[in-house]
A and B are shown apart, each in its own frame.
Chain A
Amino acid sequence: MTQYSIQNTKDSKLKTEEMVLNMGPQHPSTHGVLRLELVLDGEIIKDVIPHIGYLHRCFEKHCEAMTYPQVIPYTDRMDYLASMYNEFGYAVAMERLLKIEVPERVDYIRVIMGELQRIASHLVAIGTYGADIGAFTPFLFCFRDRERILHLFEITCGARLLYNYIWIGGLSHDLHPDFIRLTKEFIKDFRPNVKELNELLSYNRIFIERTANVGVLPLETAINYGVSGPNLRGSGMKWDLRKDDPYSIYHKFDYDIPVGKGEKGKVGDCWDRYYVRVLEMEESLKIIEQAIEQIPEGDVTSAIPKRIKPPEGQIYTRVENPRGELGYFIISDGSLNPARVKVRAPSFVTMQVFGELCKGWMVADVVAILGSVDIVLGEIDR
């Protein structure tokens, strides 16, 4: 409700002390292994110092020792809630470097998978956000629906979390014969569930009290820090790489880019960021519906090169990951291994602005703000 101004207690006769509270890495709501050092005045935050790196796996250095296709399983492990999209981004980058045209069916399947992944990822974001605020039931409702998406992935490529499905120039398998039918059923069942979720959580009075007007991220700050994805759109900017820097076949579909409107509070508050994700799931459903209708026949493995040895050069490609702008900067020295793979991870960039957002709020709000920016530590630490 109210953001507290940080008062100077020096003039007061009472001796007060700041308390440093260590939050994480083993805290139930730091979404993984983030460690926050909170400097508190009572329950009010004076400063936040995030400590990252508990999940560092040397992804970028590791890539230099791998051949190009061998990098794909490692991209899976960055943002483990959106593995499909990490592969998607890497495949698009490599195809641009190699100048490969992929068959149309491959593109359609990639878009379907990518959007299903976006829904699955947003479901985790929304569900865990509810749990952070104290509503545990929506969390399990979200996981129930996510389970069906994971099942769709499982029948397609055999894995539920780390897929290694989207390859450079194609896909590892074609769709399962049941896939289209099950996806249609999922869409049909999922729409009412979103409504139920809205009634249970989004428009709940207590939930609004906790999130509206809290942790406001002004558009200017967001742009200055390079925040992207739903967090930027929550601050009111219509910026989505699927429309603004098109890749794959996103230009063929009809869908909207939802933005935060400050319906319950100020534009760019926690509620806006949260609600943008809810609306995005609906838009993803639209894309999937259209893609399923239009999907052509074809061979998904025909364009996969036998031996990947790109010419000397470099490429930067960015895609709209569920968490924002996922960029791959790949330098090739003409050998079988990449000379450098640098990843611009959206969560890492969002983490920078987190300290700004928290100052002057209470301990309980740190949890609310952290949940609303939806970070994945696997991607921050890489």
Chain B
Amino acid sequence: MMYDWLYNLTGSEILAMFIVSLLPLFVFILPFALAAVLAERKVSAHMQDRLGPMRTGYHGILQTIADIIKLLQKEDLVPHATDKALFNFAPLLVFMGSYAAFAAIPFSGFFIGSKIDLGIIFIVGVTGLVVAGILMAGWASNNKYSLLGAMRAAAQIISYEIPTLLIILTVIMLTGTLSLYDLSEMQTAYFWNWLILGGPAVGLQKILLIPLMILGFLIIYTSTLAEVNRTPFDIPEAESELVSGYHTEYSGMKFAMFFLAEYANMFAVSAIVSVIFFGGYQSPFGYLGNTLGWTWLVPIEQFFWFTAKGLFGVFVQMWLRWTLPRFRVDQLMAFCWKYLIPFSFVILLLVGLITLM
């Protein structure tokens, strides 16, 4: 694994740990956020018959860099009536929550921050920090729009964690593991081993599992959309109602933190969905590296497949955002409690029965 390799390389435990924990940030999250912000602009523009940013660099590829420079140069504004300590700490907490999730995400068989056995539970738990951060931001801003936004966000994220967890529970029941690494390894070889197609089960069991798994995937994808506050569930920052919700009062780099956390979160949730249902970093049809006998190529291929699946999930999130209108807060809650949760329970029950077969 990466940690062992770095430990052998540097000979220092602390240094190896340090590099391993920083690596996802610099290798992945920051470049991803830069690219995703631009992609969001370009995707939305082309869906709307526009061109999007065209002036900064070729077809506007430098636009996000220009934005970051602008945000860095801005005055770090703290409104007078805020609770200063909480106000300053909230963006860090939100960012921490979404960044810490990357520690357990297996980018490939080799590139994995920490191979903990409780991977899924760790991610779900640590992203709970985001809720705390959002509530903090909303309360500390001393702004009614922020408070309403934070209230909505907390209610929404907590509610939608239930169907997410129920589906995760179903998968755990089926596979008997909580580790994302083991989960990915289990779905190896070809795409019919992916859990959305019944996973390693065989025969009648597999056929019965497929529709349930597809439904489960739809539920978990919908709930994760709500957890990262994307349209049609973006009511915490509903621009047309609450200006921009809990981060109304934030500017400059603190705003950028929220922004970065949002994009990091978008990838994190689609990565989790891809690990659970689409084999994570596993290639859908074998590895070129194995065929050619170049074993060093395999992790690179795995990294490619993992990011490809994750990015496709992100693209679908963007696609939905620019197509659908937004729910109202009570409709959103009703949707979760009246449809998603009962359906997830049914799936849990049926999968339990099928595994007994």
Contacts and interface: CB of A to CB of B under 8 A. Distances in A.
Interface in A128-165: 130-137, 140-141, 144
A58 to B, nearest CB: 31
Interface residues of A, number: 33
A22 to B, nearest CB: 8
Most buried by A among B144, B234, B334: B144
B77 interface: no
A136 B49 CA distance: 12
A362 interface: yes
A70 interface: no
Given A29-B240, A137-B47, A140-B48, A43 B329 contact: yes
B76 interface: no
Contacts of A1: 328, 330-331, 334
Interface string A348-378: 0000000000000011111100000000000
A123 interface: no
A27 interface: yes
Contacts of B329: 43, 362, 364
A133 B323 CA distance: 12
Contacts, number: 84
B169 interface: no
B268 to A, nearest CB: 24
Contacts of A365: 328
Interface stretch (A200-208, A327-335, A339-347): A200-208
Contact of B325 (A21, A27, A210, A366): A210
A19 interface: yes
Give the one of B231, B241, B322 with max A CB within 10 A: B241
B50 interface: yes
Contact of A209 (B44, B235, B331): B331
Nearest to B328: A364
Contacts of B231: 134
A136 B318 CA distance: 12
B19 interface: no
Contact of A364 (B145, B241, B243): B241
A1 B238 CA distance: 19
B239 interface: yes
Contacts of B328: 1, 209-210, 362, 364-365
A208 to B, nearest CB: 10
Nearest to A368: B328
B235 to A, nearest CB: 7
Interface of B: 44, 47-50, 144-145, 148, 231-232, 234-235, 238-243, 322-331, 334
Given A29-B239, A204-B325, 5 more contacts: A29-B241, A134-B234, A135-B323, A206-B232, A206-B324
Interface of A: 1-2, 19, 21-22, 27-29, 43, 130-137, 140-141, 144, 200-201, 204, 206-207, 209-210, 362-367
Closest 7 CB pairs between A and B? A134-B326, A135-B325, A29-B240, A140-B48, A133-B325, A134-B325, A364-B328
26 contacts: A1-B330, A2-B330, A28-B243, A29-B240, A43-B148, A132-B240, A133-B240, A134-B234, A135-B323, A136-B322, A137-B44, A137-B322, A137-B323, A140-B49, A204-B325, A206-B327, A209-B327, A210-B326, A210-B328, A362-B329, A363-B242, A364-B235, A364-B328, A364-B329, A365-B328, A367-B240
